[in-house]
Amino acid sequence: MRVNLMVGGSVELIPKQEVQDRQHENWIGVDHGATWLIQHGIVPQSAVGDFDSTDAAEFTTVRQEITNIKKLPTAKDMTDTQAGVLTAIKQFQPDQIDIFGATGGRLDQLLANLYLPLQDQFKDYLPKIRFIDRQNIVSYYFPGTYTLRRQPKFKYLAFVNLTPVEDLNLVDEKYPLHHWSSLIPFSWSSNEFAGDENHFSFRKGIVAVILSGDWPLH
């Protein structure tokens, strides 16, 4: 089962057509993301957040449309996105968690979102979490050997070690890499697919793979 989260980030980066194509799937609205979903004809199963970016009229609509709402204090030890992912795990035990509206805007919030899967409470779900916007798809990997499939409109391919990594191999990408290790985070960016499928492997660490396309997309 796949669960989708809509976070209250930069609306211009939300792939609206893809969201509409998923309108009958399970959704969780996070903070102003709940309002965005309602405005676009999607009523999420749950809403969570401190709703500090939602005005009184919008929150009245949220309460009218959504029965399962968890309102959090503004001062808390987690972000709204973290609370949304925890809600998804507890409510659905999903096979995939796709997060929209979590990129762009403030850099500190972007980094908090992108590093979220590394935290202990989410680490079991790390390979099941993706961040998606109009220009990027971010996926996370534990050590192993993997196949990547080319996707339309996403020309570029990046491999980013978020922790120390050992023996990273980009086997058949346009720009191969062999037996690379590093103690610091590093982004091998602007690589490309050399075919419909490409492969990579690594022996230790956590790697994010980012599919990217040039702006504007869809």
pLDDT at 105: 85
pTM: 0.95
Alpha carbons 196 and 107: distance in angstroms, whole number:
33
pLDDT tens-digit readout, 64-90: 999 999 999 988 889 999 999 999 999
What is the pLDDT at residue 75? 86
Confidence of residue 43 (pLDDT cuts 50, 70, 90): very high
Element (H, E) at 212: strand 207-212
Q: What residue ranges do the domains of the chain occupy?
A: 2-134, 140-212
Helices vs. strands in the chain: H and E counts, helices first = 5, 14
Locate all alpha helices (DSSP H) within the chain, ordered by sequence.
Answer: 16-21, 32-39, 56-65, 80-92, 107-115
- Radius of gyration in angstroms for the set of CA atoms belonging to the chain, rounded to a whole number: 18
Does pLDDT of 9 surpass 90? no
CATH, domain range 2-134: 3.40.50.10240
What pLDDT score was predicted for residue 77? Answer: 87
Asked if the domains 2-134 and 140-212 are classified in one and the same CATH topology, the answer is yes
- The pLDDT value given to residue 216: 63
Looking at 3.40.50.10240, 3.40.50.300, 3.30.413.10, 3.30.70.1380, the CATH number of the domain 140-212 comes to 3.40.50.10240
Give tens-digit pLDDT for 98-132: 999 999 888 999 999 999 999 999 999 999 999 99
pLDDT at position 114, please? 96
What pLDDT was estimated at residue 205? 98
> How far are the Cα atoms of 7, 15, 47, 109, 173 from residue 44, in angstroms, in the given order?
12, 17, 7, 23, 39
Q: What is the pLDDT of the chain when averaged over all its residues?
A: 95
Residues 211, 154 contacting (CB under 8 angstroms): yes
Among positive and negative, which fits the CA dihedral 204, 206, 209, 210? negative
At 13 the pLDDT is 95
